[in-house]
Chains A and B, each alone.
Chain A
């Protein structure tokens, strides 16, 4: 099994496309780091003792907008205003300036939005890892070895997960190193302010990062598994990659639209991939709980795997 994974790993890293992906990731983090470093003030709040006044002004304008527009505002805009107001109030009360030393941990937190990129690259690998063998014609040589087809597919799936994990690790370590280099380790790192159900709580930054990386990985793994299934079942890498990326971008929105009218939207994959809704903000539909989402995700996961394995095992290789 280990030699199979080694084979797959080598096949990924013998292609130049892989290095382009890693290069893009490193480049974006570097550029973002440079911007952060040379941009003096971050945000609309003055960088001095007047920060409290700044926050109060921001609150007042948001409050006004909330009152004037009322229900005209889209749900998510309204929510983000309320969230900002609550967090600002908390800062003023507890004397927590937003202009505290920007540390490497904060940089990692800011860079964690790039996890979506890692997801994108993971989908590209997952979509190609089986289908490419068909395109290259090498599947014929691969499947006439004394190894069961299931085992080959498992090795490919594991390799794909390992690749995604490595990219995440790269993102974390590289943004951490760059953060230390540019912003220092920061004496006492500022806490992360979490807003949920109208209350603000303080969380350690490290815990917050773990949460972001952990929850995002689940989203990534689900989409990559879907791409993997399409790749294995339909032998088309472009279909697998295209469809998965498309759904990655619009799946959430479409589900949200459907959710406004129909309650069954909660059974959609995309209503459940974003587990942040149970830790920050509010769930998409009433009645959805963390347990419900986890069960839905497990069902989808098993479904994807079952389709991939059955189709791959039964398929006549005639290409």
Chain B
């Protein structure tokens, strides 16, 4: 896989305070990269540095090999972005807005604009003034605006902020489609974990300006084994049994259940053993470990050190 965006040891100091501290990562072709972190961790600052809106104190950012600092025009040519809210000229129609931005890049035809409008599903309302648009429509127009010049890199800062579930789903589908079909590298930032889980291939976690972890979403969520919640009449006794069967495994007791991590093949064996011990089993449930659990695990862990 080809790396499209290279962040190389980037730091940003504002008024003596280190906002971003030696950040390095890369985003590959056809990949959706999630940029995750609590509010104020430096997500937006990093994104603004990638698109050249704010300067870089040290380090460099390269897009398809061109530095955003020394070769701005060549680098930014491949980037389409929405930074925070998709603010447009409200006194103009959606179409006029798109024309406006189309004039600023080379070789965008009327057909291309029409095609993009069709893609985001705004054909019916495109000639209305932007001030009459709903937030969801503005978000769609914002997406159209950054797709006009067929970018290799798509950057969306909090793209689902303030959208209703239907709008969130729509954006998610678009993002996945663009990455799969057009091979774009997509960078999405968010503080919403569930959203990231559904949208991204890899997730980088940033906290206090430092990148503390990058993992693929699947690895991230299911690191080892599967999680089963077993509802029994005597959890304490079940715990004893577990400790005997799988010494060293972590076992949690949750009300009337115990939560264990084991391989799927071992479930029938475990059930037999528990029944043999005279325990009554009411239910067995496989629970997926959510990104949220992992996220809290990772961030609190690092903070403690």
Contact = CB atoms under 8 A, between A and B. Distances in A.
Given A137-B85, A137-B87, A7 B104 contact: yes
Interface stretch (A145-153, A223-231, A260-268, A277-285): A145-153
A3 B101 CA distance: 10
Interface stretch (A9-17, A86-94, A191-199, A200-208): A9-17
Q: Which of A4, A137, A148 has the most CB of B within 10 A?
A: A137
B89 A314 contact: no
A310 interface: no
A270 to B, nearest CB: 35
Interface string A113-154: 000000000000000000000001110111111111000000
A317 B72 contact: no
A144 B52 contact: yes
A64 interface: no
Interface residues of A, number: 25
B54 A318 contact: yes
B52 A143 contact: yes
A53 interface: no
A9 to B, nearest CB: 11
Interface residues of B, number: 31
Interface string A287-319: 000000000000000000000000000101110
Contact of A145 (B55, B83, B105): B105
B73 interface: yes
Contacts, number: 76
Main secondary structure of the interface of B (DSSP, over half): loop
Contact of B96 (A14, A141, A317): A14
Q: Which of A7, A138, A140 has the most CB of B within 10 A?
A: A140
Contacts of A147: 73, 104
Nearest to A143: B53
A6 interface: yes
Contacts of A136: 87, 89-90
B77 interface: yes
Given A140-B83, A145-B76, A146-B73, A317 B104 contact: no
Interface string B80-93: 01011101111110
Given A6-B103, A136-B90, A144 B51 contact: yes
Nearest to B157: A140
Q: Which of A15, A314, A317 has the most CB of B within 10 A?
A: A317
B53 A138 contact: no
A314 B73 contact: no
Interface in A1-27: 3-4, 6-7, 10-11, 14-16
B55 A314 contact: yes
B112 interface: no
B81 to A, nearest CB: 5
B227 to A, nearest CB: 42
B100 interface: yes
B73 A141 contact: no
B18 to A, nearest CB: 15
Contact of A146 (B76, B85, B87, B103): B76
Contacts of A10: 92, 96, 100
Given A14-B96, A317-B48, A144 B81 contact: yes
Contacts of B105: 145-146
B41 interface: no
B89 A3 contact: no
Contacts of A137: 84-85, 87
B116 interface: no
A5 to B, nearest CB: 10
B89 A4 contact: no
A7 B100 contact: yes
Given A136-B89, A317-B48, A4 B103 contact: yes
A314 B76 CA distance: 17
Contacts of B87: 136-138, 140-141
B79 interface: yes
Given A7-B104, A10-B96, A316 B73 contact: no
B189 interface: no
Contact of A148 (B53, B54, B73, B101): B73
22 contacts: A3-B104, A4-B103, A6-B103, A7-B100, A7-B104, A10-B92, A10-B96, A14-B89, A14-B91, A14-B92, A14-B96, A15-B91, A141-B145, A144-B51, A144-B52, A144-B76, A144-B81, A145-B101, A146-B74, A146-B104, A148-B72, A318-B54
Interface of A: 3-4, 6-7, 10-11, 14-16, 136-138, 140-148, 314, 316-318
Interface of B: 14, 48, 51-55, 72-74, 76-77, 79, 81, 83-85, 87-92, 96, 100-101, 103-106, 145
Q: Which 9 A-B pairs have the closest CB atoms?
A: A137-B87, A316-B54, A145-B104, A3-B103, A317-B53, A146-B77, A146-B73, A140-B83, A144-B51
Given A146-B72, A146-B73, A146-B74, 9 more contacts: A6-B103, A137-B85, A141-B145, A142-B104, A145-B105, A316-B14, A316-B55, A317-B48, A317-B53
